[in-house]
Amino acid sequence: MKISCVRTEQSTVTEVSRKHRFIGKRLLQVLSIFLVVMMLSFSLLTIGEGIAQASVPDKFDLSDAAEPLFTSKALTDNTVQQSFAFDNTNNCIYVVQVTAGGQQLGTETRTYTAAERALNGDLTVTKLSTTGTALGKMYLMGFGHGLSIGAEPVGTTTYLWTDVDAFQDDSTDANSYGTQLARFAFVNNQVLVHTDSSITKYSPVAGADRTTVNVDMANGLLTVRYRTGVVGSRSFHFSVYDLAKFKTGTFTPLATVDQPSTLGSFKGFVSYGSYLYVLDGNAYNSSTNPTGNTYITTVDFNSGAQVDRSLTNAGSSLLFREPHGMSIQTAGTDVRLSFGFASYKSSTDTGKNSNIFYKDAFVSNMFDLSDPAEPLLTGKVLADPTLQQGFAIDNTNDHIYMVQVTNAGQQLGTETRTYSSAERALKGDLTVTKLSSTGTILGKMYLIGFGHGVSIGVEPVGTTAYLWTEVDAVNDGSDGNGYGTQLARFPFVNNQVLVNTDSSITKYAPIVGADRTTVNIDMTNGLLTMRYRTGVVGSRAFHYSTFNLAQLKGGTFTPLATVDQPTGLGTFQGFASYGSYLYLLDGTAYDTATNPTGNTYITTVNLNTGLQVDRQLTNAGSSLLFREPEGMSIQVVGTTVRLCFGFGSYRSSTDTKKHANIFYKDVLVTGT
């Protein structure tokens, strides 16, 4: 996920990694790095609310060459590492093993053999730095086999998630496996027995066994692997939950998928956003596996389909080389799909070392601009008869918010007189119309002193829609309009006349000295993109910076990625971002002399590289009268994502009052 700061994440959205930045190694991160628990607005699969959290539409590129994080590191015991988890807040790694034989721990009255430790489900946790230096250890008595664990940082304390209450369910298998999930604080040198009162236990799936867990902190999700069925017809599944709700006892999965049937020996899993990654394979064997059979498989939580499977040769020179464990590491704006191997310490010492490798490239999807556009709504009346400007779609509550410069001749709120059209434009007064997804008016709101409304965003919080707009309009003398100098967040309140000085407005100035600020919200990926202008008269330029939405609201204005507005655009008319890509709308209304057939273009920019990767003329709404392009937004309908763009049109050949029109494209292709 290298969005860097947009760069998909704005670097990820700001230039975060350039290996893939973006959102990929850039935005995506925000997409990290904290995408924050913003529920995936894609319905994760078949049940539940659908992953409504910060969804990460990009998936890791399994063909990306793996890099070592560290190799040949000693753990507390000499046994095989089972799994590991990163605490990306405190920059630590927790690696779990079956406890070695020959030790007497805690209140034990004797030593136990390796076979007894495996049967009892005793585990050893080693705390490491990210370079592999041992920082501590902990023992877990009666927990399970440790096939996967999770780490949840709370300040400087790390809460570990593991399987617990080990049970041998198969007499032919010398290991015991957990039957519930456990959450507890890592305490250095502690010997923790599974019956200890400090442990919180969870049983999300009735009747399940062999439970293991992964925590996706970036997206606020928890994934459980478990087995159901009866002897002879048992099968494994993965269910994803909202982490915060799960901890309160709400066990409604956002999605459930079956374990793919193509796997070899299962060795670990991790989830990140909309995708599940599964590790399988065996140690080297001179007769049956001389060159390695370790695979990583990708499953789309939205569809349940296996979408990638790739052999990895990472660590090919290791002795023994048994795959074990997966986790997600975030390093700055770089997001890494990490996986581990146990190896012999030497050709004469079969004690085990720990090794971790990673991949950090993403495969991103972008909208296919050659896809024919479809109408969402046409010929719709708004609260005022003026031209629509920007619009935003609340995909949670299925509403559209469309903004216009306020019409002349109205006296609003505490105003003492009416104002002309020119005065409204200069002051930056806007009218917001709330529409159903079919274009029925549901309400209106007036914004006094805000700006021109070129682009707006919406952030649903339950049934309340928080609008994001420009605010504190200033006229810079270049035309007769006022443009915002900051960003504003406030709830939509029907029939309210909201003045730009009202205390209910939260204002943000993420780029010092910028003007002509406009905004877009990518709720699916938990991102906010701002368009703004910098420079001095005569050398001003527009740029786009992408931020982690949650972090920006908290006052952290570090972009994930920043890109320049491409040269060669016509008259700018709106923008939207989705994942690693930025989409721009430009063009003008029909004009019999200069533009008789339309000049509306959509342009795609890769936030990870800053490069323009597509530009297409659109003939959507070609029969409209006037047909001035205005505004862009993303609509999510079920599992379909739509790139929406609007046009203002005359009501008829004799009535130049304006109608609103929205069209969309919904085909995604592999990005470039």
The DSSP code sequence of 454-485 is S--EEEEETTEEEEEEEES-B--SSSS--B-S
Q: How far, rounded to the nearest angstrom, does the alpha carbon of residue 110 sit from its chain's CA centroid?
A: 49
Amino acid present at 418: T
Query: For the CA atoms of 59, 95, 139, 202, what is the dihedral angle to 10 degrees?
Result: 0
The region that residue 203 occupies, defined by phi over 0 for left and psi between -120 and 50 for alpha, beta otherwise, is beta
Q: What Å distances lie between residue 530 and 104, 124, 490, 543, 584, CA to CA?
A: 60, 48, 17, 8, 13
User: Which of 327, 342, 360 lies at the terminal end of a domain, its last residue?
Assistant: 360
pLDDT the model gives residue 670: 82
| Count of the separate structural domains present in the chain | 2
Residues 326 and 402 in one domain: no
341 forms beta bridges with 323, 355
Residues 320 and 389 in one domain: no
C-alpha closest to that of 353 among 77, 68, 86, 67: 77
Give the residue-averaged pLDDT of 438-451: 98
Residues 164 and 222 in one domain: yes
589-618 per-position pLDDT tens digit: 999 999 999 999 999 999 888 999 999 999
- Give yes or no for residue 34 having a pLDDT over 50: no
1-11 per-position pLDDT tens digit: 233 223 232 22
In a domain, 390, yes or no: yes
pLDDT the model gives residue 570: 97
447-479 per-position pLDDT tens digit: 999 999 999 999 999 999 999 999 999 999 999
Confidence bin at 32 (pLDDT 50/70/90) = very low
Give the residue-averaged pLDDT of 530-552: 94
Structure tokens belonging to residue 508: 């943000």
User: Which of 339, 360, 381 lies at the terminal end of a domain, its last residue?
Assistant: 360
- Give yes or no for residue 347 having a pLDDT over 70: yes
- Specify whether the CB–CB gap between 402 and 435 falls below 8 A: yes
C-alpha closest to that of 450 among 513, 519, 510: 519
Structure tokens belonging to residue 17: 């990694």
Residues 387 and 355 in one domain: no
* Count of beta carbons in the 10 Å neighbourhood of residue 63: 11
Please say whether the dihedral angle defined by the alpha carbons of residues 10, 11, 16 and 18, taken in this order, is positive or negative.
Answer: positive
State the Cα–Cα distance between residues 282 and 266, nearest whole angstrom.
Answer: 9
pLDDT the model gives residue 112: 98
What letter would DSSP give residue 259?
Answer: P
Structure tokens belonging to residue 72: 């040949």
In a domain, 573, yes or no: yes
Q: What Å distances lie between residue 78 and 99, 127, 286, 351, CA to CA?
A: 9, 15, 23, 5
Give the residue-averaged pLDDT of 285-303: 93
pLDDT the model gives residue 43: 32
Q: What Å distances lie between residue 67 and 71, 246, 342, 429, CA to CA?
A: 11, 34, 16, 54
- Specify whether the CB–CB gap between 118 and 102 falls below 8 A: no
The region that residue 104 occupies, defined by phi over 0 for left and psi between -120 and 50 for alpha, beta otherwise, is beta
Q: How far, rounded to the nearest angstrom, does the alpha carbon of residue 242 sit from its chain's CA centroid?
A: 14
* Count of beta carbons in the 10 Å neighbourhood of residue 558: 17
Residues 303 and 392 in one domain: no
191-230 per-position pLDDT tens digit: 999 999 999 999 999 999 999 999 999 889 999 999 999 9
C-alpha closest to that of 341 among 279, 408, 388, 383: 279
Residues 82 and 134 in one domain: yes
391-435 per-position pLDDT tens digit: 999 999 999 999 999 999 999 999 999 999 999 999 999 999 999
CA angle 46, 394, 438 (to 5 degrees): 90
Residues 118 and 202 in one domain: yes
Residues 379 and 340 in one domain: no
343 forms beta bridges with 353
Q: Average per-residue pLDDT in the chain?
A: 90
* Count of beta carbons in the 10 Å neighbourhood of residue 346: 11
Give the residue-averaged pLDDT of 541-555: 94
DSSP strands (E only) in 301-368: 306-311, 322-331, 334-346, 349-359, 362-363, 365-367
DSSP characters over 46-67? SSTT---B-----EE-TTSPPE
In a domain, 322, yes or no: yes
State the Cα–Cα distance between residues 672 and 670, nearest whole angstrom.
Answer: 7
Residues 336 and 409 in one domain: no
Structure tokens belonging to residue 35: 């995408």
619-638 per-position pLDDT tens digit: 999 999 999 999 999 999 98
Residues 528 and 602 in one domain: yes
In a domain, 205, yes or no: yes
Q: What Å distances lie between residue 107 and 42, 137, 152, 275, CA to CA?
A: 49, 17, 28, 43
In a domain, 53, yes or no: no
Structure tokens belonging to residue 265: 């020996």
Parallel, antiparallel or unpaired: strands 572-578 and 562-564: unpaired
- Specify whether the CB–CB gap between 561 and 15 falls below 8 A: yes
pLDDT the model gives residue 548: 87
Amino acid present at 175: N
State the Cα–Cα distance between residues 602 and 619, nearest whole angstrom.
Answer: 11
587 forms beta bridges with none
Q: Which helix (H) or strand (E) holds 118?
A: helix 114-120
- Specify whether the CB–CB gap between 56 and 42 falls below 8 A: no
Give the residue-averaged pLDDT of 512-536: 94
* Count of beta carbons in the 10 Å neighbourhood of residue 651: 15
482: Cβ–Cβ under 8 A, 6 or more apart, which residues?
425, 426, 427, 428, 449, 451, 452, 473, 474, 475
With b for 16 or more beta-carbon neighbours within 10 A and e for fewer, the 586-604 pattern comes to: bbbbbeeeebeebbbbbbb
User: Which of 328, 360, 392 lies at the terminal end of a domain, its last residue?
Assistant: 360
Residues 608 and 630 in one domain: yes
Look up tokens 């469309």; give the residue: 402
592: Cβ–Cβ under 8 A, 6 or more apart, which residues?
none
435 forms beta bridges with 400, 441
Return the CATH number at 424. Answer: 2.115.10
In a domain, 159, yes or no: yes
C-alpha closest to that of 213 among 203, 221, 205, 222: 222
Q: How far, rounded to the nearest angstrom, does the alpha carbon of residue 372 sit from its chain's CA centroid?
A: 28
Residues 251 and 375 in one domain: no
User: 345 lies in which domain range?
Assistant: 62-360
Q: In angstroms, what is the C-alpha Rg of the chain? A: 28
Q: How far, rounded to the nearest angstrom, does the alpha carbon of residue 490 sit from its chain's CA centroid?
A: 23
In a domain, 32, yes or no: no
State the Cα–Cα distance between residues 202 and 194, nearest whole angstrom.
Answer: 13
In a domain, 44, yes or no: no
